[in-house]
Amino acid sequence: MSEIVLETRHLVRRFGAFLATNDVSLKVERGARHALIGPNGAGKTTLINLLTGVLPPSEGQVFLEGEDITSMASFRRVKRGLTRTFQINQLFNEFTPLETVALAIAEREGVGHNLWRSIAGYGKVVDEAAALLARFGLASVMGERTVILPYGKQRLLEIALAFASKPRVLLLDEPAAGVPEDERHEVLQIVSDLPADVTVLLIEHDMDLVFSFANRISVLVAGAVFVEGTVAEISTDPRVKAVYLGENA
């Protein structure tokens, strides 16, 4: 279990004079449940954007399963098994949830370029989409337009959509944000139930969730990795308490 699937080397991202990511070198092992925590503005989302190619880094490199993907287009990274969810829902408002996940499954299966056959003709894609939506409790709204769904349902769809690509490395940017209290654990349970070889990098503010879910934690402060360790190490580290946990306690 010591194979490194996701790695950054001296990753830097500047916005003008502002250093959003400051020399981040991170190694994530296969099957890890790795949490990324840190105060607001610490550069957590920027790091995810760099990993997924939404933003190009100013310096440094990103490796996926040993391959340098620093300048690879986002959609190719997804094809290679790296995908994410967004902190603020990024959905297709005019699509139904069914169309949304069917699209992702069709692209994963390599049939997205077919312009002659109706999607309804891809029975396996449609079946898998339906099963996935049922798993996320979205079966009852699969035919509604996404934009009119309640926020909690949209949030679930946001995560279901990432699952539809069957990632080997999944980056979750505050997946439980805005999910009603009683459904939060359901969301995290679904994530926990992922096969052991799927690697998860999680940004989350709810420390209870982080400590129950993660087996490794990196603390980001001012764009740099402040400290990294196991849950036990981080939860008892006085410096972490000072810069981060102290604010919430």
Partner 1 sequence: MSVLPQETTVSANSSTAAAETRAAKLMKRRSRIRFYEIIVWIAAIAAYFLLPSKMLILTEIAILALFAVSLDLVLGFAGIVSLGHTAFFGLGAYVAGLMAQHYFAEPVTGLIVAGVASGVLGLLTSFLILRGSDLTRLMTTLGIGLMMAEVANQMAWLTGGADGLSGFSPGPILGMFEFDLFGKVGYLYCVGVLFIGTMIMRRIAFSPFGLSLKAIKGNSMRSAMVAVPARKRIVTAYTVAAVFAGMAGALLTQTTAFVSPDVLAFHRSADVLLVLVIGGTGYLYGGIFGAILFTLVKDWLSVITPQYWMFYIGMLLVILVLIGRDRLSRWVEYLPERLSKKEDR
- Shorter beta-carbon distance to partner 1: residue 85 or 218: 85
Minimum distance from residue 157 beta carbon to partner 1 (Å)? 11
Minimum distance from residue 124 beta carbon to partner 1 (Å)? 10
Tokens of 52: 């997924």
Minimum distance from residue 85 beta carbon to partner 1 (Å)? 9
Residues in contact with partner 1 by the rule CB under 8 A: 52-54, 73-75, 78-79, 83-84, 86, 90-96, 98-99, 102-104, 106-108, 111-120, 122-123, 126-127, 129-135, 139, 142-143, 161-167, 193-195, 198
Q: Would you give the distance in Å from CA 104 to the centre of its chain?
A: 15
Minimum distance from residue 112 beta carbon to partner 1 (Å)? 5
Dihedral class, residue 92 (left if φ above 0, else alpha if ψ from -120 to 50, else beta): beta
Ranges of beta strands (E only) in the chain are 4-15, 18-29, 33-37, 59-64, 67-68, 82-84, 169-173, 199-203, 216-221, 224-229
- Shorter beta-carbon distance to partner 1: residue 6 or 104: 104
Instruction: For tokens 């096969």, name the residue.
Output: 195
Tokens of 55: 């933003």
- Shorter beta-carbon distance to partner 1: residue 171 or 225: 171
Which residues are bridge partners to 61 per DSSP? Answer: 9
Total count of residues recorded for the chain: 249
Minimum distance from residue 238 beta carbon to partner 1 (Å)? 38
Backbone Cα Rg of the chain:
18
- Shorter beta-carbon distance to partner 1: residue 173 or 204: 173
- Shorter beta-carbon distance to partner 1: residue 31 or 38: 31
